[in-house]
Amino acid sequence: MAQEVDPVKTARLFEFYVRRIWPWQRRLVAGRLARRCSRCGASERMLTLDASGVCSECVRQAAQGVPPRRAPDAALQADLAAVLAGAQGQGAGRYDALVMFSGGKDSSYLVQRLKNEFPRLRLLTCTVDNSFMSPVAKRNIDEILPRLDVDHVFIRPHRAFYVQLFRHALTHLNAHGSYGTVDFSDGEFMLDAARNLAAEKQIPLIVCGYSRYQVENGLGLHHYESPRERERQPRTETAGLALADIFEREDDRRLWWQGQTRPDVEVPRLLFPLYAWDLEEAEIKRQVVQWGLISAKDQSPIVTNHRLIPLLGVVDVHQFGYSSFEGEFCRMIREGKAEREPWQHTFEFLEYTARTGLFVKPLVLDLLAQLGLQAQDVGVHFE
């Protein structure tokens, strides 16, 4: 039987090692690591590096004259502000907007900024518990909600629902790895659950704290709002996986959103304000600390994201040679929205520990056991 471990302790130990020990140890094990882009930190297993150690994406952007730091789109921000201002007091029920709230820095920033700039927007915050929530995220939710002074609800599907979803997705990865399969399907159901709740409570807006990268690369959108026609599409699959192959019970398949069956008045608008605001990671971190919402040590995605993240990273390294989550952060680095060194060290150490099992092996084996899987089922073999 897999050894039970403390996921938060493991995550904090991982972070400490990356920050204090890895900058020195990496020099000793450099020969075992993939080379990385000198500008954005991308692995050579994800993007081709030229003779000078620069990845193909950085070369492409330099050739096109793309500025390293994208300028704010004032017109897009003004358009979003008009939508939010116009929604104040317009909900047929008690609320005007349903805000997805994870307990992390992005969703906390989102709620507080909405309250500051649109004080008459009646908010209901919502957390979808996928049965693998981080204890730190849960504590953040308990501590932050009184400070935000907003109504909140949990949506908790039965655990077997998520075990079936994650087990199937993890054993049927698409070309985008765990990020594009497991994490994507988790996110799609989160949004579907929000759509159902908003329709039930007659809430006209859903507001989600996805970053610009997540909106563009994850959802394939290039605007802060999901198109109306997409919101009305029937749901038959997630991340390219047929729901009928994942769930035997019709009741489980019915938990997903079926927009084509709803009258137009019950189909909420889905907004992603961080797409328009397009903030630097450091600015969001600084602001939530200044507002007194989250301490610096409790806002890291390594400790606030769900407990499957270490498992997903390890599986990716074994199957692809790099973490599929790297693409998001490398793009943020190229656009001047995040710092290269801390994230490069994080993904380097993940590559190293995914193979050696340092710190993560007991946790990975425990998570696999909870999903009814073994290491060989997902191609993992620790040295």
Does residue 351 share a domain with residue 258? no
Predicted local confidence at residue 2, as pLDDT: 41
Distance between CA atoms of residues 208 and 377, nearest Å: 34
Residue 307 has pLDDT above 90, yes or no: no
Place of tokens 């500051």: 116
Distance between CA atoms of residues 120 and 319, nearest Å: 49
- Residue 24 belongs to domain spanning: 7-66+308-378
Predicted local confidence at residue 301, as pLDDT: 65
Question: Into how many domains does the chain fold?
Answer: 2
In a domain, 115, yes or no: yes
Does residue 365 share a domain with residue 319? yes
Q: Which of 37-46, 176-185, 295-304, 317-326 has the lowest mean pLDDT?
A: 295-304
Rounded to the nearest integer, the mean pLDDT of the chain is 93
Predicted local confidence at residue 303, as pLDDT: 63
Give the end of a domain, one of 277, 295, 325: 277
Express each pLDDT in 51-92 by its tens digit.
Answer: 999 999 999 988 987 666 677 899 999 999 999 999 999 999
Residue 7 has pLDDT above 90, yes or no: no
Burial letters 170-206, b for 16+ CB under 10 A, else e: beebeebbbbbbbbbbbbbbbbbbbbbbbbebebbbb
Q: How many helices (H) and strands (E) does the chain have?
A: 20, 7
269 - beta bridge partners?
205
Does residue 333 share a domain with residue 254? no
Give the end of a domain, one of 228, 259, 277: 277
Does residue 31 share a domain with residue 136? no
Q: What percentage of the chain's residues is helix, strand, coil (to nearest 5)?
A: 55, 10, 35
Express each pLDDT in 215-250 by its tens digit.
Answer: 998 899 999 999 999 999 999 999 999 999 999 999
Distance between CA atoms of residues 150 and 250, nearest Å: 35
Q: How far is CA 183 from CA 99, 180, 301, in A?
A: 19, 6, 14
Longest dimension (CA), the chain: 63
Cβ–Cβ under 8 Å, residues 36 and 348: yes
Does residue 179 share a domain with residue 56? no
Distance between CA atoms of residues 101 and 137, nearest Å: 10
Q: What is the DSSP letter of 30?
A: G
Does residue 56 share a domain with residue 80? no
Please name the helix (run of DSSP H) or strand (run of DSSP E) that holds residue 142, with its range, or none: helix 135-148
Does residue 268 share a domain with residue 163? yes
Cα torsion through 374, 378, 379, 383, rounded to 10: -50
Report the share of the chain in percent with pLDDT over 70. 96
Query: 1 pLDDT band (50/70/90 cuts)?
Result: very low
Does residue 202 share a domain with residue 133? yes
The phi, psi pair for 206, rounded to 5°, reads -115, 130
Distance between CA atoms of residues 324 and 178, nearest Å: 6
Distance between CA atoms of residues 340 and 353, nearest Å: 20
Does residue 113 share a domain with residue 260? yes
Report the share of the chain in percent with pLDDT over 90. 82
Record the tokens describing residue 242, joined without a space. 């047929």
Express each pLDDT in 312-365 by its tens digit.
Answer: 999 999 999 999 999 999 998 998 888 999 999 999 999 999 999 998 999 999
Does residue 319 share a domain with residue 336? yes
In a domain, 283, yes or no: no
Distance between CA atoms of residues 129 and 239, nearest Å: 20
Express each pLDDT in 187-205 by its tens digit.
Answer: 999 999 999 999 999 999 9
CB under 8 Å to 197, separation ≥6 — which residues? 98, 126, 153, 155, 203
In a domain, 234, yes or no: yes
Residue 38 has pLDDT above 90, yes or no: yes
Does residue 216 share a domain with residue 343? no
Residue 113 has pLDDT above 50, yes or no: yes
Does residue 237 share a domain with residue 105? yes
Cβ–Cβ under 8 Å, residues 218 and 187: yes
Mean pLDDT within 6-11: 82
Predicted local confidence at residue 249, as pLDDT: 96
Please name the helix (run of DSSP H) or strand (run of DSSP E) that holds residue 277, with its range, or none: helix 273-277
- CA nearest 377: which of 179, 169, 182? 169
pTM of the model: 0.92
In a domain, 300, yes or no: no
In a domain, 1, yes or no: no
In a domain, 291, yes or no: no
Predicted local confidence at residue 298, as pLDDT: 56
CATH label of the domain that carries residue 128: 3.40.50.620
In a domain, 302, yes or no: no
Query: 164 pLDDT band (50/70/90 cuts)?
Result: very high
Record the tokens describing residue 200, joined without a space. 């039930």
Residue 299 has pLDDT above 80, yes or no: no
Q: Which stretches within 19-134 are classed as H helix?
A: 22-28, 56-64, 74-87, 105-117
Mean pLDDT within 258-264: 94
In a domain, 288, yes or no: no
Q: What is the DSSP letter of 249?
A: S
